[in-house]
Amino acid sequence: MAVTGAALEREAPRRRRRVSGATRLGVALFSPALVYILALLGLPLVLAFLYSVGDVTVGSVGYEFVGLENFRSVVESPSFRRALVNSFVFTIASQVIVIVCANALALALRERFRGRGLVRFLILLPWVAPISLGAIGWKWILDSIYSVVNWVLAKMHLVNLFDPPMWLGRPALAMASVIAVHSWRMIPFSTVILLAGLTSIPKELPEAAAVDGAGFWRTHFEITLPMMRPIINVALLFGVVFTFTDMTVVYILTRGGPYDSTQVLPSLAFQTGVLGSDLAEGAAISMFLVPILVAVAALMLRVAHRAEVV
């Protein structure tokens, strides 16, 4: 090491000269990606803001600044209020389910056992398969007439097969179904993230606690869980973004219905801005995603920062 250090010192002047050339090369290699990101991510982001405070429809050519007019009319609409509340219910409920289930599953999968690879593959399926296809599978499972869930429940004499629950046709049931299917999709993702965190905890620690006579729950809550805090935060932050901004499950299962009871902000923005051609109001609805995204980004930076400092 010392030799390398001395060699480096001797080379220092030459190095410094080379740095400017290296930086120039760095800029040249980085700029294509930067230009692309600015053009196709930065520009649309700016346009999204402009549309939300302007007067634009699909047919229009001009642009007129209208201030907060779009936001006013959006906020006054009952559909929007419903979607705003639903978005929070959808996100909070599914993330609670996901974090609890993923914790249990990660702990159970922690140690190696025979068949672990197969079990992992099965558990990961909902995340790795395209969600639009998984959701259509659930649409069949929750079918109004031929639902296998109803068939099983009827066998257990819990429901009447000739007047079965309409999983996607009644407001409360539809919301519960959408939350369940989205949780189904997100549990594998959080589980693997938590597993990655678990393996980084030195094994000796919980074992030492066990030897000292601490029971499973005590070890879990007083040692394992606190050590997993940062990684749980990461799983939660990604989970919130992927849930709050997602419309696939809702769109495929219910199209936001019945009567807007499962409408969330992204699906309402799609319906208004794309299907309804009202770009300005659609953009205004999408803007309500921004505060959550900014908050998550800020928290994410803090998590990353703290992890690097420690």
109-138 residues in contact with other proteins (CB under 8 A) are 109, 119-126, 128-138
Instruction: Decide if residue 92 touches other proteins (CB under 8 A).
Output: no
Residue at 93: amino acid letter: A
Each residue 156-195 as x (binds other proteins by CB under 8 A) or -, in order, gives -----x----------------------x--xx---xx--
Instruction: Decide if residue 51 touches other proteins (CB under 8 A).
Output: yes
Instruction: Decide if residue 22 touches other proteins (CB under 8 A).
Output: yes
Q: What separation in angstroms does the CA of 158 have from each of 29, 148, 221?
A: 64, 13, 37
Q: How far is the CB of 236 from other proteins (least distance, A)?
A: 11
Q: Which of 97, 153, 159, 247 binds other proteins (CB under 8 A)?
A: 247
Q: How far is the CB of 20 from other proteins (least distance, A)?
A: 11
Q: Which of 53, 210, 227, 299 binds other proteins (CB under 8 A)?
A: 210
Instruction: Decide if residue 283 touches other proteins (CB under 8 A).
Output: yes
Q: How far is the CB of 289 from other proteins (least distance, A)?
A: 5
Instruction: Decide if residue 54 touches other proteins (CB under 8 A).
Output: no
Each residue 215-234 as x (binds other proteins by CB under 8 A) or -, in order, gives -x-------------xx-xx
Instruction: Decide if residue 238 touches other proteins (CB under 8 A).
Output: yes
Distance CA 213, CA 195 (A): 25
Applying CB under 8 A, the span of 70-78, 165-173, 255-263, 282-290 interacting with other proteins comes to: 282-290
In three-state form (DSSP H/G/I as H, E/B as E, the rest C), the secondary structure along the chain is CHHHHHHHHHHHHHHHHHHHHHHHHHHHHHHHHHHHHHHHHHHHHHHHHHHHCECCCCCCCCCCECCCHHHHHHHHCHHHHHHHHHHHHHHHHHHHHHHHHHHHHHHHHCCCCCCHHHHHHHHHHHHHCCHHHHHHHHHHHCCCCCCHHHHHHHHCCCCCCCCCCCCCCCHHHHHHHHHHHHHHHHHHHHHHHHHHHHHCCCCHHHHHHHHCCCCHHHHHHHHHHHHHHHHHHHHHHHHHHHHHCCCHHHHHHCCCCCCCCCCCHHHHHHHHHHHCCCHHHHHHHHHCCHHHHHHHHHHHHHHHHHHHHC
Instruction: Decide if residue 144 touches other proteins (CB under 8 A).
Output: no
Q: How far is the CB of 225 from other proteins (least distance, A)?
A: 15
Instruction: Decide if residue 304 touches other proteins (CB under 8 A).
Output: yes
Nearer to other proteins, 6 or 274 (CB): 274
Instruction: Decide if residue 250 touches other proteins (CB under 8 A).
Output: no
Nearer to other proteins, 30 or 259 (CB): 30
Nearer to other proteins, 93 or 231 (CB): 231
Cβ–Cβ under 8 Å, residues 79 and 165: no
Those residues with Cβ within 8 angstroms of residue 139's Cβ, 6 or more apart along the chain or in another chain? 168, 252, 253
Instruction: Decide if residue 71 touches other proteins (CB under 8 A).
Output: no
Q: Which of 53, 75, 92, 101 binds other proteins (CB under 8 A)?
A: 101
Nearer to other proteins, 85 or 196 (CB): 196
